[in-house]
Amino acid sequence: MAEFSIIERYFNRQQQSDVDLGVGDDSALLTPPLNHQLVICTDTLVAGRHFPLDTSAHAIGWKSVAVNLSDIAAMGAKPHSILLALSLAQIDHDWLKDFSQGLYDCCDQFGVRLIGGDTTQSPQLTITVTALGWIETGQAVTRAQAQVDDLIVVSGSIGDAAFALQHLGHPLQQRLDYPTPRCELGAMLKGLASSMIDVSDGLAQDLGHILDASKVGAKINLNQLPINPALRDLSENQQWKYALAGGDDYELCFTISMQNYDKLLQLQPNVITTIIGKVTQQCGIAFEKDGLDHSLQLQGYQHFA
């Protein structure tokens, strides 16, 4: 089967009205909404590196979209569309059917459309998705505006996916295979959060990117980490390792003033958020437990380890 036959069979659905030209031409055409900026990001998933080799095709399709929508959400933006670059070792129609269904299931849930991309042959399965979104001009939430005394908040629970990766078959594998991008929460935080990032490489490492960009520090209360009850039988050190250095959570970590956090709660977000610490003047991350300083050595996900 030729490349264009694969695209036509599995990756060409009728576009929504705000896509001027989608799948089937050299490039897609979009008309930006008035007074908006384009938000764009890309992520590559490699078989055996970013997901276990026996992961279902449907889950791979879902996750390849979800991890990109999470980046869009972390800017406070509304996701709009995606591009897909797919490298396949061979043509497997059952796999392609399930993969494309997983991709479209995630797109449909978050109001996103596939508008173009590329397919090619490669010795290793590789999926690259580029996501596009819109945000009102000047309203994007970046990593660089955290303020001393802001609260540090995280959505959902953290450490689930990292635990599941080490315990395949556990019910928490659903969190590893089917992450939920916090698009609604991200949009709510526009104009409220001072900085934001999605948690992909471990909470401590990703929070560190905010601190570096904002030139501030943080104190994290280990007692306040939102750890899933399924991990509570582990030692505290194991819990903290999964939660702070595990990665693949795709939750949102953000800094926000107490006044604006109260405003967020009044909006009743559809996901629980937890205050885990405060922004400080001293650079780096300090930890405390039971009101006392606590030393931890952590390393998040390394892309070239």
Query: Tens place of pLDDT for every residue, the chain, 305 residues?
Result: 556 567 666 566 765 567 767 776 678 888 889 999 999 999 999 988 888 888 999 999 999 999 999 999 999 999 999 999 999 988 889 999 999 999 999 999 999 999 888 888 888 899 999 999 999 999 999 999 999 999 999 999 999 999 999 999 999 999 999 999 999 999 999 999 999 999 999 999 999 999 999 999 999 999 999 999 999 999 999 999 999 999 899 999 999 999 999 999 999 999 999 999 999 998 899 999 998 888 776 654 444 34
Under a CB-based contact definition with an 8 Å cutoff, are residues 245 and 305 in contact?
no
Q: Cα separation of 69 and 203, whole Å?
A: 18
Rg (Cα) of the chain, in Å, rounded? 20
Which residues make Cβ contacts (< 8 Å) with residue 277, sequence separation at least 6? 151, 152, 218, 219, 220, 221, 224
Q: Cα separation of 164 and 255, whole Å?
A: 28
What pLDDT was estimated at residue 304?
32
pLDDT digits (tens, 9 = 90+) for 189-236: 999 999 999 999 999 999 999 999 999 999 999 999 999 999 999 999
Under a CB-based contact definition with an 8 Å cutoff, are residues 227 and 184 in contact?
no
Nearest to 117 by CA among 77, 65, 66: 65
**Angle value at C-alpha 212, between 251 and 134, nearest 5 degrees:** 50
Going by the annotation, the residues of the binding site for ATP are 117-118, 143, 200
Going by the annotation, the residues of the binding site for Mg(2+) are 26, 42-43, 71, 118, 198, 201
Q: Cα separation of 142 and 210, whole Å?
A: 8
Q: Which domains does the chain have, with CATH numbers?
A: 1-134 (3.30.1330.10), 148-290 (3.90.650.10)
Residue 154: DSSP 8-state: E
Torsion 304-75-181-274 (CA) sign:
positive
The share of the chain scoring above pLDDT 90, in percent, equals 75
Count of all residues that appear for the chain in the document: 305
Q: Measured in whole angstroms, how far is the alpha carbon of residue 296 from the centre of its chain?
A: 25
Helices 236-245 and 203-214, axial angle in degrees (round to 10): 50
Going by the annotation, the residues of the binding site are 26, 42-43, 50, 71, 117-118, 143, 198, 200-201, 248, 301
Going by the annotation, the residues of the binding site for substrate are 50, 248, 301
